[in-house]
């Protein structure tokens, strides 16, 4: 059994991770001028939810053109073009463009000559040992879940208010979409919420119906809610008791439903303009 971030990974999930990190065709975002100069086959094709999160396509300027290239086509370009393509992804804030120096010792010279010698992109040819590489790639993004450190007495104490928390803690989703709001609602007993890309409005309605304002971090059932200056909810987590917190950092396929201490979660979610509210679950 392979462990990623302290979580046992199912056998069928690893091959899907390979496809989501290094699809047979991947998007390269370029300006119209770059597309013409490099003779790229641009299209209006949109990434699916998994690739959207791999490549952070929601952060890319919508005015750019997108060229979907397989590895063979990418590798056939002169090195100058490959270097320009990869540098453009960094400039345009596309994801999954790692630094050569961080991986050269593991992957060898192939990544140094792939593009400009400083950055590279993932292809399946680089992922011949996914059992070794994928845990390192994903763990580097998310940190370790500490659910195994939570005592049996804590889980028992949380069960009345959070009947599904233990079931969900230390699990990866089946793909992109499931997020922090659905994780909190599912832990509190809302069936199916853990599989949804839960939106702000239904989460806020659930908060109004199921909680009262105020709460303490050291007891089970305190819903931690972060809001931006416009009062839109941005993130949520829920306390398990004894200083432990369950949350899912994002809607990405890479982020699990993990357990951290309250101090760790508060530190990780500190964002300019966000304010923290506390709500107490009612039964």
Please spell the DSSP secondary structure of 58-105, one letter per residue: GGS-TTSEEEEEEHHHHHHS-HHHHHHHHHHHHHTT-S---BHHHHHH
145-281: CATH topology: endopeptidase fold (from Nostoc punctiforme) (3.90.1720)
Across 181-230, where does the E strand assignment appear?
211-213, 220-227
Q: Report the share of the chain in percent with pLDDT over 90.
A: 90
Q: What is the pLDDT of residues 159-200, one digit of tens each?
A: 999 999 999 999 999 999 999 999 999 999 999 999 999 999
Q: Report residue 141's pLDDT band, with 50, 70 and 90 as the boundaries.
A: low
Round the average pLDDT of the chain to a whole number and report it. 96
Angle between helix 200-210 and 180-187 (nearest 10): 30
C-alpha dist (Å) from residue 99 to 5, 92, 119, 218: 21, 16, 5, 40
pLDDT in tens, 117-135: 999 999 999 998 999 898 8
With cut-offs at 50, 70 and 90, classify the pLDDT of residue 51: very high
| pLDDT tens per residue, range 107-120 | 999 899 999 999 99
Q: What SS3 state is found at 204?
A: helix
Considering only residues 236 and 141, tell me which one the structure prediction assigns the higher pLDDT. Answer: 236
Quick check: 258 pLDDT over 90?
Answer: yes
Average pLDDT over residues 149-167: 98
Average pLDDT over residues 216-221: 97
Looking at the chain, the domain(s) classified CATH 3.90.1720 span 145-281
Torsion sign, CA atoms 98, 99, 105, 107:
positive
pLDDT band at residue 1 using 50, 70 and 90 as cut-offs: confident
For residue 126, what pLDDT is reported?
96
pLDDT tens-digit profile of 2-49?
889 899 988 889 999 999 999 999 999 999 999 999 999 999 999 999
Angstrom CA distances, 169 to 22, 98, 154, 275, stand at 27, 29, 13, 25
Q: Which two tokens mark 236?
A: 């949520």
> In the block, which residue shows the tokens 């199916």?
192
pLDDT of residue 2: 86
């Amino acid at each position: 059994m392979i462990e990623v971030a302290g979580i046992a990974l199912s056998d069928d999930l690893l091959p899907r991770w390979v496809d989501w990190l290094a699809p047979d065709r991947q998007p390269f975002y370029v300006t119209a001028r770059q597309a013409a100069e490099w003779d790229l086959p641009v299209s209006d094709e949109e990434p699916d939810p998994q690739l959207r999160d791999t490549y952070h396509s929601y952060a890319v300027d919508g005015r750019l053109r997108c060229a979907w290239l397989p590895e063979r086509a990418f590798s056939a370009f002169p090195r100058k073009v490959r270097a320009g393509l990869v540098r453009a992804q960094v400039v345009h804030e596309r994801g999954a463009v790692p630094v050569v120096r961080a991986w050269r010792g593991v992957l060898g010279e192939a990544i140094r000559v792939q593009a400009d010698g400083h950055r590279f992109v993932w292809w399946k040819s680089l992922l011949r040992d996914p059992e070794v590489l994928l845990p390192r790639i994903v763990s580097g993004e998310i940190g370790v879940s500490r659910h195994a450190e939570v005592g049996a007495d804590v889980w028992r104490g949380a069960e009345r208010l959070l009947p599904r928390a233990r079931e969900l803690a230390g699990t990866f989703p089946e793909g992109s979409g499931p997020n922090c709001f659905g994780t909190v609602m599912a832990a509190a007993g809302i069936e199916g919420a853990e599989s949804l890309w839960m939106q702000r409005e239904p989460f806020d309605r659930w908060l109004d119906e199921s909680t009262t304002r105020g709460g303490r971090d050291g007891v089970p059932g305190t819903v931690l809610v972060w809001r931006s200056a416009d009062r839109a909810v941005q993130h949520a987590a829920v306390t398990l008791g004894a200083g432990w917190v369950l949350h899912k950092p994002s809607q990405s396929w890479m982020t699990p439903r993990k357990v951290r201490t309250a101090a760790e979660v508060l530190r990780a979610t500190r964002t300019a303009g966000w304010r923290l509210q506390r709500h107490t679950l009612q039964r």
